[in-house]
Every structure is written in C-alpha cells, then in structure tokens.
Amino acid sequence: MLKSNTDKATGFEKRFENIGTIVFENSTMASKAVAKEIADLIKVKQSQKQPCILGLATGSSPKGLYAELVRLHKEEGLSFKNVVSFNLDEYYPMEPDSINSYVRFMKEQLFNHVDILPENYNIPDGLLSKEAIAGYCDAYEAKIEALGGIDLQILGIGGNGHIGFNESGSLQNSKTRLVALDHITRVAASGDFSGLNNTPRTAITLGVKKIMEAKRVILMAWGEGKSNIIKASVEDTVTNLVPASYLQEHNNATFVLDNAAASKLTRVNSPWLVEKIVWTDRLIRKAVLNLALDLKKPILMLTDADYIENGMSDLLADSGPAYDINISIFNKLQNTITGWPGGKPNADDSKRPERAEPAKKRVLIFSPHPDDDIISMGGTFKRLQEQGHEVHVGYQTSGNIAVADDEALRFASFVCDYNDKFGIENTEASAIYKKAAKFLKNKKSSEIDTAEVRYIKGLIRKGEARATCHFVGIPDEQIHFMELPFYETGAIKKNPIGIADVKITSDLIEKIKPHQIYAAGDLADPHGTHKVCLDAIFEAVKQLKPKTFMNDCWVWLYRGAWQEWGIDEIEMAVPMGPDQVLEKRKGIFKHQSQKDGVVFQGNDSREFWQRAEDRNRETADIYHQLGLSHYAAMEAFVRWEY
C-alpha cells in the first residue's frame, strides 16, 4: 500500500496536513505507484477467490493510471476477470457512444484493452427517463452493498473541491442521485464540449456516503491548477463547501499528487514553518517576499520582530539582522527589472538578467497557439524587435479548434464573393462553402469538424498571427507555422507528444540557432496544449545540447493569460509604460476570432486582452508594494537551465 508522507510525521506535518499525502515528481511516477497498489489488491483477491470491487473515475487525472493498468495486463499478465467496477458518474443526458460519454471514455482508456468481463463494469446510465433515475440510483448502491462495498475507490478532484460530481454544498450522507453541475465544473468541462453552451447542466453521481464507505480511497491530482483546492482539502477545516475535505475523516484515504499539485501545501510552499531547514538563496528570497506581502510591508520595512513572529527566527539567527537580509533581497528583486530583454549593449551585465553580448541576438519565440506570443509577452516581443534583434516566431499549433463555426462560414463565403467580384473561377470554392455549410448546419454537439472546415479555421488563425507579426514589425520569412502533428486530431483530445513533434521543433531551433528562446511555461494543466508544446521544446533542447550553438542559447519561460509566475520565481521583469500597454492591446486585437465570447473562455469572463493587462498590472503593483518603482505593467519570465 502507498505510504503517505504524514505516516512518519511526529508533529511537524500533522500541524498542517489532516490527511495522508504522497508527492511524486510527476504524474507518470504517481500513476504507476497507484496502479501497483491496484494490481496488488487484485492479486490478493484472486488468491482468496474473491471479486475485487473497484470504484473508478474519469477525467484527465486517471488516464496515466489506466494506461499503466493496460500495460500490466498486456506485458505482465495481470488479469481483470475477478474485477467488478463501479464508475463514479456520468453526464445526463448522455448517449453511451457520444464522444464525451464516460462509457466511451472507460472503454477507450481501459475496458477494451483488458480482460474484464463486460457484465462486471457498471457506469451510470445517461439515457434514463428522469422518472427512472431515483430507482436506478437506489439499485446502483444496492448492487455495491451486495458485493460487500468498494474495496478501493479512485477519485479526482474538481476546481471547487468536488469528488465525483458531488459539488460544493453536498452533504456527507448524500446518496447516488441526479445533480445540477456547478458553473465552475461546467466551465472546466466546456473545452470537451466546444463551449459552455453545449456543456451538460446535470449528471448522475455516486453520493459522498458511498465514497466514504469505501475501504480504501486514493485521490489523484496533477498540475498547478489543482494546488489551491488541494491545500484547502488537506489543510483546512472539513466543510461541505469543499467536499474533498470530507476525506480527512476517512480512516484509509490518501492524496497522491505531483509536485505542481502539491506546490501550495505548507510543507512545500513554506517548509520553514514545518521543520528546521537549510536556508538556500531561493528559500530566503521566497520567505522574505512572502512575509512582506503577507504583512503588506515594503521589503525594507521588515523588522526583526516580523521575522521572529512569523516562524523565521532561524533565518534571522543565521543571516540577520533583518536590515541586512532586507537589503540583499531588495537588490536581487530590483536586478530582475530590465527594459532590455535582449540584453543592454555596452553595459555592465553582471547584475542584469540577460547578457550584453552579442548586442544583436537571434530570438525564437515559441507560441503554443497563434496568439500566445502577443497575449503573454507582447510588450517584450515588440521591444525585442524595436531594439534591433532578429526575432522569429514559431507558432506550434494551428489553434483551429478555437474558432467558432460561424467564423469559418463567414470566411468561406468571403472567398466565394471575392472570386465572383474579380472574375476568378469559383466552382471549387463554392463547392467547399456549400459542403461546409451543410455539415455545420447538421453538426452534432462535439462532432469533429471535416478536414475542409478545420483547414478554414486554421487559415483564419494563421492570418491573424501573421497580422500580429506585421504589426510588431516581423517579416514573413521570420514567421514559422509549425503545425505540430500531436494537435491536428480535429478533436479536443490531442495525441501524446511524438517523435515528429520533437523533430519539427529541433529542426527549427537548429535552423535559427537562437541566442534566446522564449517558451510558454504554463504548468496548470499537465495534459494541456501549452504543457505538451513545452515538453516538445524541452526534449528538443536536450537533444540539441551537444551542438556548439547551444552554448550561447538561453531559454526564458513566460506564462499565458491564465496565471503569472510567483514573485519569488521571477528572474526577468520587463516593464511597460501606458503607451506600451495600449500597443500590446492593439496587437492582441489582430486576433479577431478570439474576441467577444471565444470558444474556450475558461472560468474567466474577461477577454484575453483584459486578462493580460490585469495580470501585467498586478505584477507591477506587487513590485511597487514591495518598495520598488511603480510601472504601468510588467511581463515576467523565468530562466530554464538545461
């Protein structure tokens, strides 16, 4: 059985964590560990000639687990013939063969690849009449009870702390039932349904009571996007507002996390509050900056008493007084600020984030989607160009699934009208338009677009990206549309990163031989497009590392419209004045298909330009709050050492 970090704790961690937690380096390692526990349980039950009753979950979190279970079956002979499974939930209404059905998900991810008997897996029925649901749910629970209960329940966790579809407000004695889905849950799922309007409003879910009755519970969570709710579930009080917190009262539950999902736990985020630590430069910076922000004081106003009263007396004893520590951290933070992201020529660069030489650098900006460059680092992008660097942009994916259907029809119609106006043969264009219009008129929810529609949508985004580059001043020969194969499935679900993706990436790097690479460092969703694109860059850079030109190549990571680096992480902050903020906004406006209610809005109703401006302003305000100069906005970067 997995052993939690708190099993051996004698007081320190137990002050904060109210449930066993295990933190792995990544989700792959974590999934393999959970799969091993399940496999061991199945084998024990087989030796006892008993069925193994598993509670299973869907979503992105268990995908790696199911892949490992399939591997154990195919390569190591693990049999599932004695397994009886009960899935947590299903959208309602939902046809079992729908692309978003959990029946289809489970078959594709697990059941079709192992020897589980079809009569032994149970998934809530999304086609019931509403009148039949209550009786069906009672029978679902009765079947679990007749088998002696669930031996091991696998859970994920929603952004609001839901387990199954037991949303905020669900009671601990809640039964299996039809529930209304929280707005946060629907927004999180909207990407799978091509927008919020197409996302189901209800679902059938196993109740909290049955989850709590399971003999063993493992909750898995990956990615920085889950870190805040994990902290609330593990460290805060038990509340129906965060149903996952109920697991604190289970006698055999464990949270299995990757580093990113665990990043807000006190023992990870503020280890000096948990145990005696070795104070590294990074930890000192993090502790002092967090202290200043918590107390709402400029760095230079912190006192010895502030350190002592907030669990940092060890630091004061080692490196104090406070005045000396404050000065050191203030100077380091000040040195992150530069108006010369490509390095300032003929200047002392010993305390600057970038090198002065070569004065004119080759720069390669990787943009996962066709607008991430301008949204996330538009001010820096423009400044690099204005300061004379040779700036290239690599658009990693087409971004075609993020274009609304009516936009595609509008552009196809424009081509037909254009051809008519200028006497150009219009037969093929007209046929394509009519075919696309017919398809879109009858298109089912979440149905994959035809190749023609996908290509039209891709052309729209390509044109917008090119318009942005021209606005910044980048010539066509420095614009590179990579169209990485992993993305081009036509569906929300993408393929894993492949050899071809890495080769296209490494070929572009080798062609340009950049002194600087900028890449999207978003880690909120470990299965998201940004993370896959980043993995392709990381792998390409590692493969190219022996090349001589890579000795002069630095990699800077920016973040997208969803979040920003922590103040303690920032290594380069590029300030912007009010006029530069407006220029960045104009560049973002070139992406017309992403304005006014985009397909993938997320849980933020603001448009992308608003999110970017607010985030950049907030970063500048934090610097000012800490006692540094006040700018209108700042774009932040972290250097990746490879």
Residue 10 has pLDDT above 60, yes or no: no
Q: What is the pLDDT of residue 6?
A: 46
In a domain, 113, yes or no: yes
Q: Are residues 254 and 367 in the same domain?
A: no
Active site residues: 167
Contact status, residue 535 vs residue 520, Cβ threshold 8 Å: no
Average pLDDT, the chain: 92
Q: What is the pLDDT of residue 78?
A: 98
Contact status, residue 283 vs residue 267, Cβ threshold 8 Å: no
CATH code at 483? 3.40.50.10320
In a domain, 36, yes or no: yes
Q: What is the pLDDT of residue 447?
A: 72
Q: What is the pLDDT of residue 8?
A: 39
Q: What is the pLDDT of residue 488?
A: 83
* Amino acid letter, residue 273: L
Q: What is the pLDDT of residue 320?
A: 86
Q: Are residues 305 and 209 in the same domain?
A: no
Q: What is the pLDDT of residue 527?
A: 57
Least confident range from 93-102, 212-221, 593-602: namely: 593-602
- The Cα 346–Cα 483 span in angstroms is 39
Residue 316 has pLDDT above 70, yes or no: yes
Residue 502 burial (10 A CB sphere; 0-12, 13-18, 19+): buried
Query: Average pLDDT in the 96-106 region?
Result: 92
In a domain, 3, yes or no: no
203-233 burial, b at 16+ Cβ within 10 Å, e below that, comes to bbbbbbbbbbbbebbbbbbbbbbbbebbbbb
Positive or negative CA dihedral for 80, 86, 90, 95?
positive
Query: Average pLDDT in the 356-380 region?
Result: 96
Contact status, residue 526 vs residue 134, Cβ threshold 8 Å: no
Question: Residue 4 — very low, low, confident or very high, per pLDDT cuts 50/70/90?
Answer: low
Q: What is the pLDDT of residue 617?
A: 96
Residue 333 has pLDDT above 80, yes or no: yes
**Full domain range(s) for residue 293:** 278-336
Query: Average pLDDT in the 113-140 region?
Result: 96
Q: Are residues 487 and 614 in the same domain?
A: yes
Q: Are residues 366 and 474 in the same domain?
A: yes
Residue 525 has pLDDT above 80, yes or no: no
What is the percentage of the chain residues whose pLDDT exceeds 70? Answer: 94
Q: Are residues 207 and 325 in the same domain?
A: no
Q: Are residues 177 and 294 in the same domain?
A: no
Residue 599 has pLDDT above 70, yes or no: no
What is the percentage of the chain residues whose pLDDT exceeds 90? Answer: 81
pLDDT digit string, tens, across residues 128-152:
999 999 999 999 999 999 999 999 9
CATH code at 165? 3.40.50.1360
CA distances from 345 to 130, 355, 356, 387, 577 (A): 71, 9, 5, 10, 22
Q: What is the pLDDT of residue 312?
A: 96
Question: Residue 465 — very low, low, confident or very high, per pLDDT cuts 50/70/90?
Answer: very high
Query: Average pLDDT in the 336-350 region?
Result: 95
Q: What is the pLDDT of residue 561?
A: 61
Q: Are residues 226 and 305 in the same domain?
A: no
Residue 99 has pLDDT above 90, yes or no: no
Count of domains for the chain: 3
Q: Are residues 122 and 43 in the same domain?
A: yes
- The Cα 215–Cα 85 span in angstroms is 14
Q: Are residues 65 and 201 in the same domain?
A: yes
In a domain, 11, yes or no: no
- The Cα 174–Cα 178 span in angstroms is 11
In a domain, 381, yes or no: yes
- The Cα 163–Cα 503 span in angstroms is 40
Query: Average pLDDT in the 415-433 region?
Result: 92
Specify the DSSP element, H or E, that contains 557.
strand 554-558
- Of 267, 299, 325, which residue sits at a domain end? 267
